[in-house]
């Protein structure tokens, strides 16, 4: 159930991963003796960014351990606050549904970039598949959306304009929201995201383990669940605009998955933009790109900003 609104401790943001932290420091974020301060800035952006970390939005059961999990999200607000409600964009982290956390949204080309350009940006945590299989992840994300709309006035959100975006498993979960009931979300970005889980190589031991954890049992025995979990197989005529980004050399999620999603969207006359990264692997970099070169991701951040501005701004 949605948690009651509370006054969060705004003195510090969650400590992100080392690379994300270094990236955020590059933004011009202020670091004091205790860690990360609230206010961040991005050069040439119209707003500073205030971070409200780890706000509870609900609780849920972890079926694998029979305990209750606190579900939390971060809210990044543009400062000074806009005079009227603004769209919100929700970043959903990846990690094969088994790993990762919402701190991934703190890379400078993710939520800080969005908040610095006037959006209310949100990083959402959800139950991982080892805690609870499908549909736990979708239930948590829907609870988060319900909570955001219920508290729209507090954070200056226009509840009729919410976009979602994510990478890999996060992009897959965003796509499922996009093909859910009309009005669930108003724009979707899915990058390197699985779209048809029935077409993932089940002969791979790794794939069997990952998909089995998500589906709740051996994938070969849970094909109906895999179909439910395949956005490309559940597209309808009232989906929101989509931006699909995928590398042609993705070694984890076949490029054909992205093509299937785009084809299904086009067959339903959906508004879809397909960005093909030639030679891009699962992380969208090519073999020739240095691992420390963030220009690609900075460009993808700018692309996401332009997409959300086009489809969520009135």
Q: What is the pTM of this model?
A: 0.88
- The torsion angle over the Cα atoms of residues 26, 27, 32 and 37, rounded to 10 degrees, is -150
Q: Give the rounded distance of the alpha carbon of 231 from its chain centre.
A: 15
Based on the structure, what is the number of domains in the chain?
1
Is 261 part of any domain? Answer: yes
Is 308 part of any domain? Answer: yes
The pLDDT assigned to 203 comes to 67
CA angle (226, 231, 234) in 5-degree steps: 90
The pLDDT assigned to 201 comes to 82
Phi-psi region of 100 (alpha: psi -120 to 50; beta: other; left: phi over 0): left
Residue 271, SS3 per DSSP:
coil
Q: How confident is the model over 9-18, as pLDDT tens digits?
A: 333 344 444 4
Is 11 part of any domain? Answer: no
Is 134 part of any domain? Answer: yes
State the residue for tokens 């780890």.
54
The pLDDT of residue 2 is above 80:
no
Is 7 part of any domain? Answer: no
| Nearest-angstrom CA–CA distance, 38 and 53 | 9
Neighbours of 64 (CB within 10 A): 14
Is 12 part of any domain? Answer: no
DSSP string, 80-102: SPPSS-EEEEEEE--STTTS--G
Q: How confident is the model over 79-124, as pLDDT tens digits?
A: 999 999 999 999 999 999 999 999 999 999 999 999 999 999 999 9
Neighbours of 139 (CB within 10 A): 16
Is 47 part of any domain? Answer: yes
Is 10 part of any domain? Answer: no
Segments forming the whole domain that contains residue 181: 18-312
Domain CATH code at residue 231: 3.40.50.1820
């Amino acid at each position: 159930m949605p948690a009651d609104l509370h006054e969060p401790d705004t003195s510090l943001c969650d400590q992100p991963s080392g690379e994300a932290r270094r990236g955020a420091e590059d933004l011009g974020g202020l670091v004091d003796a205790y860690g990360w301060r609230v206010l961040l800035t991005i050069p040439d952006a119209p707003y500073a960014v205030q971070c409200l970390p780890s706000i509870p939005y609900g609780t849920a059961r972890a079926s694998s351990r029979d305990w209750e999990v606190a579900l939390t999200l971060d809210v990044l607000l543009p400062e000074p606050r806009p005079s009227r409600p603004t769209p919100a964009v929700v970043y959903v982290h990846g990690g094969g549904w088994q790993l990762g956390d919402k701190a991934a949204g703190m890379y400078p080309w993710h939520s800080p970039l969005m908040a610095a350009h006037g959006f209310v940006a949100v990083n959402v945590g959800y139950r991982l598949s080892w805690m609870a299989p499908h549909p736990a992840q979708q239930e948590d994300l829907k609870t988060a959306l319900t909570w955001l709309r219920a508290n729209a006035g507090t954070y200056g959100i226009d509840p009729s304009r919410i976009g979602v975006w994510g990478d890999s498993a996060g992009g897959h979960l965003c796509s499922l929201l996009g093909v859910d009931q009309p009005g669930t979300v108003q724009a979707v970005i899915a990058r390197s995201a699985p779209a048809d889980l029935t077409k993932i190589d089940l002969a791979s031991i790794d794939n069997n383990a990952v998909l089995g954890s998500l589906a709740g049992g051996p994938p070969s025995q849970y094909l109906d669940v895999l179909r439910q979990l395949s956005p490309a197989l559940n597209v309808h005529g009232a989906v929101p605009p989509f931006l699909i980004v995928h590398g042609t050399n993705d070694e984890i999620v076949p490029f054909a998955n992205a093509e299937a999603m785009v084809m299904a969207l086009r067959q339903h006359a959906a508004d879809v933009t397909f960005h093909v990264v030639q030679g891009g692997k699962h992380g969208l970099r090519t073999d020739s790109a240095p691992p420390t070169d963030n220009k690609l991701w900075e460009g993808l951040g700018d692309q996401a900003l332009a997409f959300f501005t086009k489809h969520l701004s009135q």
